[in-house]
Every structure is written in C-alpha cells, then in structure tokens.
Amino acid sequence: MHPGGSEPDEAEEHTTGDRRDATAIVGDPPAGAVPDTETSTTVAPPPDAKKVRRKDRKAKGPLSFLRELPVLLLVAFLLALLIKTFLIQAFYIPSASMENTLLIGDRVLVNKLVYRFHPPRRGDIIVFEDPHPPAEPHRNPASAFLHWLTEGLGVSNSPQKDFIKRVIALPGETIEIQQGQVFINGKPIGEPYLNPIKDLSSYPPTKIPADRLFVMGDNRANSNDSRRELGLIPFDKVVGRAFVIIWPPSRIQWLHGT
C-alpha cells in the first residue's frame, strides 16, 4: 500500500481502460451499417397525378363505351318491352270509324294501367281486343315466350285484332238509339264529338249486363261497333284508354271524353 491509503495506480489504469472499451462498443456502428436516421426518413415518391388522369381517360374511352353498349341496348330493350306490356303502348289507326276525332294514319298512346284504379267511363276512347277472336295455335312455354318477344319487337303480328271505339253505355244502364239520337236510361245525351255525316239508324232498348261495355265509333255511319258484329265488350278485353295523339306532329293533342 502507498502512503496515505491511496489505491494502486494499476487499479486506476484498469478502470480507465474498461470505460474506453465500453464507449467504443456502444458508440461505433458496425462497418457497412446504414444509420437509423436514413431508414426512418426514407419516403416513396408521390404518384404522378397527370399519369393517373391519363389512365382514367384511356379506361373511359371509345373502347370502354363499345364494350358497355350491348348491355345498355339490352337494358333499354327490356325496359321498352316492360313499358309496352304493362304501362303504355302506341297504336296505329287503320280505319275511318273514329273520324273526325281520329284519322287514318294517326298514332295514339294508350294507358294500360288506368283501369286498375277505376272502371271505364262514358266518353272514354278505349282500345280493346277482338271479343270474338279466331282460335290460336297451341304453343309450348318456349314458343309462347318467343312469340311474345317478337310481337313486342314488331317482328310478328298477333292474329287477334285490336279495335278503338268510344264508351257510350256502362254496366247496369239501358241504351236506346232513335234515328241517331242516343238515350241512356231514357234521357238523351250530347255527343259533340260526332262526325258531321249523320247516321239515322236506330237500336232497340238494351240493358248492359255487369262487366260489359257498349261502344260506338264517332263516325256512326261507318263503324263496326256494339250495334253490329262486335256486340258488347267484356271488361277483360279492354287494353286501355287512348289519351293522346302523338303522330303526325300537326295532329298532336290530348284526347278527352265527353
């Protein structure tokens, strides 16, 4: 021991050496290592917005539209077919029986839904199927669907004829015609829509049964209607009510009752 109780210098030297070694181990990174600051702050470059927009335009270009076109046409066709079947249908006027209200060549729109909410009314112009149709050939389900589809497209025609007339007498009423004047339940009715060419025929008093309609054309002198072969029209033969003339453009107008 050294005088004064001091520790040997060798011990001091050993302590100092150990401290240097620890500092070297902790402070010096291994060779070839990448500092943490570089890895933690590295960020991927942002996408080029202009390139993204150009890709979007290419995806929505003419080729994309052409790919979607068959689907769009199919959807449009199915919607048109559903509308024609259940809501509204156009009809062509082939005869002079409704002159001068409807002329040959006019096209009218028929509301096929209206009589689900109320029955036909006097003065309504209605389209109805032939109450005495010819027998149709038997079709299996596939053939019947194909016929319905082609008829909706206008490729084929139904053997059944459609007629357009005006409702004159309703169920439970008694109609009589005396030299062209119509009486309902014994009272004359006004008919401002009649063709100027007078019809002076008569019809005996007839009571209209339930679910039947008595119809006549506005051109009474030239109309096959309930007075003749057609007879009374069952409700279930009524297609709908004509409400507007859509063709030709010079004839576009709403159709009203009495």
pLDDT in tens, 171-217: 999 999 999 999 999 999 999 999 999 999 999 999 999 999 999 99
209-117-94 Cα angle (round to 5): 70
| Residue spans per domain, the chain | 50-78, 88-133+159-254
Give yes or no for a contact between 222 and 196, defined as CB atoms under 8 angstroms apart.
no
Q: Kindly report whether the peptide bond that precedes residue 100 is cis, defined as omega within 30 degrees of 0.
A: yes
Q: Residue 144 — pLDDT band, cuts 50, 70, 90?
A: low
Give yes or no for a contact between 97 and 219, defined as CB atoms under 8 angstroms apart.
yes
Q: Residue 121 — pLDDT band, cuts 50, 70, 90?
A: very high
Q: What is the fold, at CATH topology level, of the domain defined by 88-133+159-254?
A: Umud Fragment, subunit A (2.10.109)
For the chain, where are the alpha helices, taking DSSP H only? 9-27, 36-41, 49-59, 62-86, 141-153
- Stretch 102-118: mean pLDDT: 95
Q: Residue 256 — pLDDT band, cuts 50, 70, 90?
A: confident
- 46-85 pLDDT per residue, tens: 555 555 555 555 555 667 767 787 777 777 767 766 676 6
Give dist(CA 84, CA 149) in Å, integer.
Answer: 11
Give dist(CA 239, CA 234) in Å, integer.
Answer: 11
Give yes or no for a contact between 110 and 124, defined as CB atoms under 8 angstroms apart.
no
Residue 143 annotated among the catalytic residues of the structure = no
- 5-44 pLDDT per residue, tens: 444 444 444 444 444 444 444 445 555 544 444 444 455 5
Average pLDDT, the chain: 78
Catalytic residue among 112, 165, 223, 226: 165
pLDDT surpassing 70 at residue 136: no
Question: Which among 126, 127, 249, 257 is positioned nearest to 189, based on CA atoms?
Answer: 257
Residue 51 annotated among the catalytic residues of the structure = no
Q: Residue 87 — pLDDT band, cuts 50, 70, 90?
A: confident
Catalytic residue among 51, 60, 97, 223: 97
Question: Which among 242, 243, 257 is positioned nearest to 127, based on CA atoms?
Answer: 242
For residue 137, the model assigns a pLDDT of 65
Give yes or no for a contact between 126 and 120, defined as CB atoms under 8 angstroms apart.
yes
